[in-house]
């Protein structure tokens, strides 16, 4: 997995002190994953795996469409839309992109790129996350909005509200909404 | 509003010290709201309301399409697009999504979910923000770009540039671009 | 460039101390630019130019579609999609937006707004970034995914992995994923 997380031991063992007087503790990364597309799922999963490999403490908070990433019925078939995305490497006119089958084609294309770049799949990244101790949270508020039940989630995901995320992020070195 | 912000008094009263020697001060959340869709407006509004209920100091900087959230003519009718969004819970083929009326249908659907989850509306969230002392800023640079005038904004919104946001965010515990 | 970065010398010279005992150092802004549309490119470029003008140390990490911003063949013709974007100031029904030519029309429209607001172009912003010492990084992992080679990049861009971003962001005052 060297393409994802080139190990940098010095950075990984570097710890932060509170005001120079408190005890050393690991760096912390707090992520919100709000997108449910294949190309929206990869950035938080890559950052989480990289940070964990460097010895950081990592938490990902899945919310809104991002709940699909930890939805066991959906996370093996996240899609890429060719429509409304003028930056797709192979440019697709919107009208063509709207034709039946084009979302499947764009999805297959990006899956091929991910494979070529030797990136793990979404489910493999979730395995890496669990093995490395990354905390996975499903947002309780938006589970209600999106009609997601606890039994829809992959194993190892806890349920937390926005307050839980803020509490975790308050002490993070880096917090990102993706 | 328990679904939005389950009160956690311990977290709310927790304060940070500068290097362990300065005076205690409340946590601070700095948000950029850059999206003008209904599903793009909810995350910053939910996070802001939750943080404020925990005693955090909160500022939201509305920029680009996010200016619609504080635009008094537009913020009661923010929309959800069914096109280019393969993660919509009820999957809509792009060609069908492009038909007239489908944006209205997707918007009505999500408004129904928000109501079922007992979430406040966008305008109710803005009332909560003002009542809780959340600072609301409209981005001066992008107001020019998007053709938004001061009188288009809901009451209680100040105008600030990117420098104003950076100044506020520099001392924040959590900063997120949404 | 007063609309972009109104100079605030006091803020610019303000420095942070580590726990009140270490030496003063400048503020730091760490940005991830993940979008390749014209409207997705402006927020990181505006924030970077503003922060640099205030004396901050700035790094932008270009990843996924955001690589287009530093792609010398593509960054002069970044586009705006009228489809799947219900917050476009001039609302375009999705079916109309899908017609050939509408992406070009939306792009021309936004370029006009940027010009009216006296904002630099994307390539001018990159010049400003280089002149002000802003660090520009292309994400090595997603270069592989998106098929971008080193010679595709504009001058002055270094290649770094996610670990490099985390290392830079760990000491940032503000980190944003855009």
Output the six-digit token pair for B13: 């009263």
**Interface TM-score (ipTM) > 0.90:** no
pLDDT given at position A45: 97
A86:C103 CB<8 A: yes
B117:A64 CB<8 A: no
Nearest CB among B98, B163, B172 relative to C94 is that of B98
pLDDT in tens, C77-95: 898 866 556 665 555 556 5
> What residue has token string 């503000």?
C174
Residue in chain C lying closest to B96 (CA):
C95
* Residue B144 sits at the chain C interface (C-beta within 8 Å): yes
pLDDT-derived band at A15 (thresholds 50, 70, 90) equals very low
Mean of per-residue pLDDT scores for chain A: 83
pLDDT given at position C7: 41
- The size of the B-C interface in CB pairs under 8 A is 132
**Would you tell me which residues 149-178 of chain B have a C-beta closer than 8 angstroms to some C-beta of chain A?**
173-178
Q: DSSP string covering chain B, please?
A: -TTT----HHHHH--B-STTTS--B--EEEEEE---SHHHHHHHHHHHHHHHHTT-EEEEEE-GGGGGGGBTTTTTS-----TT-TT-SS---HHHHTSTTHHHHHHHHHHHHHHHTTPPPHHHHHHHHHHTT-EEEEEHHHHHHHT--GGGBPTTEEEE-HHHHHHHHTT-SEEEE-
Q: For residue C175, give the H/E element and its range.
A: strand C174-177
Q: Decide if pLDDT at C18 tops 80.
A: no
Distance CA B166, CA A55 (A): 29
Q: What are phi and psi of A143, to 5 degrees?
A: -60, -40
Q: Which residues contact C158 (CB under 8 A, 6 or more apart)?
A: C135, C136, C137, C138
Lowest mean pLDDT among A21-30, B163-172, C53-62: A21-30
User: What is the pairing mode between strands A28-33 and A57-62?
Assistant: parallel
Chains with 3+ CB–CB pairs under 8 A to B are A, C
Contacts of C83 in chain A (CB under 8 A): 83-84, 94, 98
Contacts of C88 in chain B (CB under 8 A): 65
A141:B95 CB<8 A: no
pLDDT given at position C67: 96
Share of chain C above pLDDT 70, in %: 75
Chains with 3+ CB–CB pairs under 8 A to A are B, C
Cβ(B52)–Cβ(B133) under 8 Å?
yes
Q: What are phi and psi of A135, to 5 degrees?
A: -85, 130
**Tens place of pLDDT for every residue, chain B, 178 residues?**
344 544 444 443 344 444 445 567 899 999 999 999 999 999 999 999 999 999 999 999 999 999 999 999 999 889 886 655 666 555 555 555 555 566 777 787 778 878 888 889 999 999 999 999 999 999 999 998 888 999 999 999 999 999 999 999 999 999 999 9
**Would you tell me which residues 29-88 of chain C have a C-beta closer than 8 angstroms to some C-beta of chain A?**
30, 32, 34-37, 40, 63-65, 68, 78-85
Residue in chain A lying closest to B99 (CA):
A98
pLDDT given at position C96: 56
* Residue B92 sits at the chain A interface (C-beta within 8 Å): no
- The size of the A-C interface in CB pairs under 8 A is 134
Going by the DSSP 8-state scheme, the letter that residue C86 receives in this structure is: T
Q: For residue A135, give the H/E element and its range.
A: strand A135-139
Helices within A15-156 (DSSP H only): 38-53, 94-97, 102-116, 122-131, 140-146
């Amino acid at each position: 997995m060297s393409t994802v997380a080139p190990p940098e031991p010095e950075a990984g063992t570097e710890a932060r002190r509170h005001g120079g007087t408190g005890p050393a503790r690991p760096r912390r990364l707090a992520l919100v994953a709000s997108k449910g597309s294949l190309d929206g799922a990869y950035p938080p999963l890559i950052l989480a795996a990289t940070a964990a490999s460097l010895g950081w403490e990592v938490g990902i908070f899945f919310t809104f469409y991002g709940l699909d990433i930890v939805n066991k019925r959906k996370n093996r078939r996240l899609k890429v839309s060719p429509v409304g995305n003028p930056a797709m490497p192979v440019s697709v006119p919107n009208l063509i992109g709207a034709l039946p089958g084009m979302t499947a084609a764009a999805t297959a294309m990006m899956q091929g790129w991910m494979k070529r770049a030797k990136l793990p799949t979404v489910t493999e990244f979730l395995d890496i996350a669990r093995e490395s101790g990354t905390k996975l949270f499903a947002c309780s508020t938006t589970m209600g909005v999106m009609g997601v039940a606890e039994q829809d989630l992959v194993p190892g995901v806890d349920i937390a509200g926005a307050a839980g995320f803020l509490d975790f992020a308050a002490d993070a070195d880096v917090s990102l909404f993706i």
